[in-house]
Amino acid sequence: MSVSVPERLRTLPPYPLAGLPEARARLEAEGREVLDLGAGDPGLPIPDAARRALAEAAGRPELQRYAFQRGLPHFRRAVVDFMNRRYGRDLDPDTEVLPLIGSKEGLANLAFATLDPGSTALIPDPGYAPYFGGAHLAGARTQRVPLLAENGFVVPPREISDADGDVRLVYLNYPNNPTGACVDLEYVNAVVEACRSQDAVLAYDNAYAEIAFDGYRPPSLVEAEGGLAAGLEFHSFSKSFNMTGWRLGWACGGAEHISRLSRIKSFVDTGPYLGIQYAGAAVLDEAEPYLEQNTAQLRERRDAAVAAFTEIGLELKAPKATLYLWFPVPGPASSRDFALRLLEQEAVILLPGSGLGEAGEGFLRAALTLPADGYREVARRIARVL
């Protein structure tokens, strides 16, 4: 029986990381040592508080029920307290915070809560695939805004305010994946004003806010003037706390936007497991010492990687935040061709920039997923391909 494929699926491009787990498994089956700098999964220890709290939660019957969208009040309160400590803004735990099954689903589902078929979402290029995926599956138009080196890989606010069409949703992500670009609060204020001029909702993806180095402090939408009314900010336990498989995050922002996203999600899921929310609350309650230690380890990896890569002639600077290095492809090859050659010849996985958008062509992304002493071996293998 032949079943027709809907257009929205036929026109959906492959996910950037599609095929990498299979490629790694194939190479390892051949007995080769794979150095995987593809997915942003550092593999560092999770907080002890998470393990302890989840073990306790497993024995509590009241935490085995449906979470629904309200979730665990204790988790919402922990989010509010954490945001207050970090940014000095007190949120309403009942109306301005929403638990998520990882920030990824929230970012994609916001498109269904915001866009009509034919309306427009502005997305950064290169950028995180769910920005495009959510808008595309919602039947909306997507307008890509190139992240250009001459602009410091930052979307100029005028690109938002001057955009044509019925712009309803704007995705931004700083500190940025994949480029590592960073902004200040003045920039966030300007973006809020630009979105207001379009009557567009701002989806501010702040998943890397807690991975910052050298005294840099990433700003938050909740700090910006009018930020809560402008849209939603998204946070994740995946990167900040190395809990990638736990699938826990939150959205915070204006009550109207929270309500709309919650309504969409109520038809799609029943919220994160209450036991994981209980563990997440425990993590947030004592987050700062862990974050300091985690950042120190990632800084050591960053410095080792930058030193090793520049020694073989790659052009890159140490990013002030995120767990990614973004650098030009060495030589005339396309980013995909170079990444494939490196994979097959030397069993090193890098993400080609073109997989994250057309404007990413010419660049490669390397994640800080190896111990610091592993980057010299990566550099040696890259040098052999060069």
Mean residue pLDDT of the chain comes to 93
Report helix angle 287-311 to 274-285, nearest 10. 80
Report helix angle 103-114 to 129-137, nearest 10. 30
Distance CA 308, CA 304 (A): 6
Cβ pair 282, 50 in contact under 8 A: yes
Q: Domain 48-287: which CATH class?
A: alpha beta
CA 244 to chain centre: 11
CA-closest candidate to residue 134, choices 161, 158, 168: 168
pLDDT surpassing 90 at residue 38: no
3-state secondary structure 182-216: CCCHHHHHHHHHHHHHHCCEEEEECCCCCCECCCC
The third-level CATH classification (topology) of the domain covering 7-45+289-385 is Aspartate Aminotransferase, domain 1 (3.90.1150)
Distance CA 237, CA 244 (A): 7
CA-closest candidate to residue 262, choices 118, 76, 119: 76
Which class for 83: exposed (0-12), middle (13-18), buried (19 or more C-beta within 10 A)? buried
Amino acid letter, residue 355: G
Cβ pair 129, 280 in contact under 8 A: no
pLDDT tens digit sequence for 59-77 = 999 999 999 999 999 999 9
pLDDT surpassing 70 at residue 379: yes
- pLDDT level of residue 15 (50, 70, 90 thresholds): low
pLDDT surpassing 80 at residue 12: no
pLDDT of residue 138: 94
* pLDDT average, residue stretch 26-42: 84
Residue spans of the domains in the chain: they are 7-45+289-385, 48-287
pLDDT surpassing 90 at residue 34: no
Counting Cα atoms < 13 Å in the Cβ hemisphere of 248 gives 27
* pLDDT average, residue stretch 220-233: 96
Per mean pLDDT, which range of 9-18, 67-76, 324-333 is the poorest? 9-18
CA-closest candidate to residue 157, choices 209, 122, 106: 122
- pTM for the model: 0.93
CA-closest candidate to residue 219, choices 255, 197, 192: 192
pLDDT surpassing 70 at residue 5: yes
CA 5 to chain centre: 29
pLDDT of residue 28: 78
Tell me how far CA of residue 189 lies from CA of 76, 155, 159, 196, in angstroms.
26, 13, 15, 11
Dihedral angle sign, alpha carbons of residues 10, 16, 18, 19 = positive
The DSSP H or E segment spanning 336 is helix 335-346
Strand ranges in 254-375 using DSSP code E only, listed in sequence order: 324-328, 348-349, 351-352, 363-367
- What number of other Cβ atoms are within 10 A of residue 35's Cβ? 22
Strand ranges in the chain using DSSP code E only, listed in sequence order: 35-36, 97-100, 120-125, 141-146, 167-173, 201-205, 231-236, 249-253, 324-328, 348-349, 351-352, 363-367
**Which tokens go with 268?**
């799609």
Distance CA 134, CA 246 (A): 22
- pLDDT > 70 in the chain, percent: 98
- What number of other Cβ atoms are within 10 A of residue 3's Cβ? 5
pLDDT tens digit sequence for 81-135 = 999 999 999 999 999 999 999 999 999 999 999 999 999 999 999 999 999 999 9
